[in-house]
């Protein structure tokens, strides 16, 4: 798919079928995250691939927005090793860039997805037994939409470019 088509057609899927994401495709999505730029190329991301029924049920306890996705990527970052200066750290930004790369790669490969920020970070950290410096930043649900999955009507509503861009 042409890149413009990927970014134009990607939408947040809120109704996944039970069809599993093939390992070869999942590996390509994860590789896209691995190739993502991070501050000073420190690569503080840590990604947990959740596919077992046991762990999907655990995710459901801390996140109301799995939408039946058969694969969930919990994207974390090591805030201790990320680039920081004074009181500023890039760990969230780095994890967000990594997630965006995976999200767009998934779309390009025909895998539907949705970025989730609505979850209990503290409980998820406990479930994953994360040390304090590893922080869950977001969840990326992956799978294939159902035939009756609807695109949010606001998806294609965009501000005019003149409202968001100013040349200096």
Number of structural domains (the chain) is: 1
The CATH number linked to 90 is: 3.40.109.10
pLDDT one-digit tens code per residue, 29-72: 999 999 999 999 999 999 999 999 999 999 999 999 999 999 99
Task: Name the nearest CA neighbour of 84 among 117, 39, 20.
Answer: 39
Mean pLDDT, the chain, whole residue set: 96
Q: List all residues 6 or more positions away from 161 whose beta carbon is below 8 Å from its beta carbon.
A: none
pLDDT one-digit tens code per residue, 86-114: 888 999 999 999 999 999 999 999 999 99
Task: Name the nearest CA neighbour of 96 among 117, 113, 112.
Answer: 117
pLDDT band at 26 (very low <50, low <70, confident <90, very high): very high
Q: List all residues 6 or more positions away from 36 whose beta carbon is below 8 Å from its beta carbon.
A: 45, 97, 98, 100, 101, 102
Q: Which domain, by its residues, includes 89?
A: 3-164
pTM of the model: 0.95
CA distance readout (Å), 111 to 20, 69, 95, 131, 160: 10, 11, 20, 31, 29
């Amino acid at each position: 798919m042409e890149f413009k088509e990927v970014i134009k057609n990607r939408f947040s899927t809120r109704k996944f079928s039970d069809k599993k994401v093939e390992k070869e495709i999942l590996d390509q999505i994860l590789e896209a995250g691995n190739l993502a730029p991070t501050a000073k190329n420190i690569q503080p991301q840590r990604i947990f691939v959740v596919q077992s029924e046991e762990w999907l049920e655990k995710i459901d306890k801390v996140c109301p927005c799995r939408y039946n996705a058969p694969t969930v990527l919990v994207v974390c970052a090591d805030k201790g090793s990320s680039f920081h200066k004074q009181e500023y750290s890039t760990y969230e930004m780095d994890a967000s860039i990594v997630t965006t790369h995976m999200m767009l790669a998934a779309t390009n490969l025909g895998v539907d997805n949705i970025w989730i920020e609505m979850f209990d970070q503290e409980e998820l950290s406990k479930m994953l037994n994360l040390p304090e410096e590893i922080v869950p930043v977001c969840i990326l649900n992956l799978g294939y939409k159902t035939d009756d999955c609807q695109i949010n009507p606001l998806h294609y509503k965009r501000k005019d470019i003149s409202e968001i861009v100013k040349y200096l």
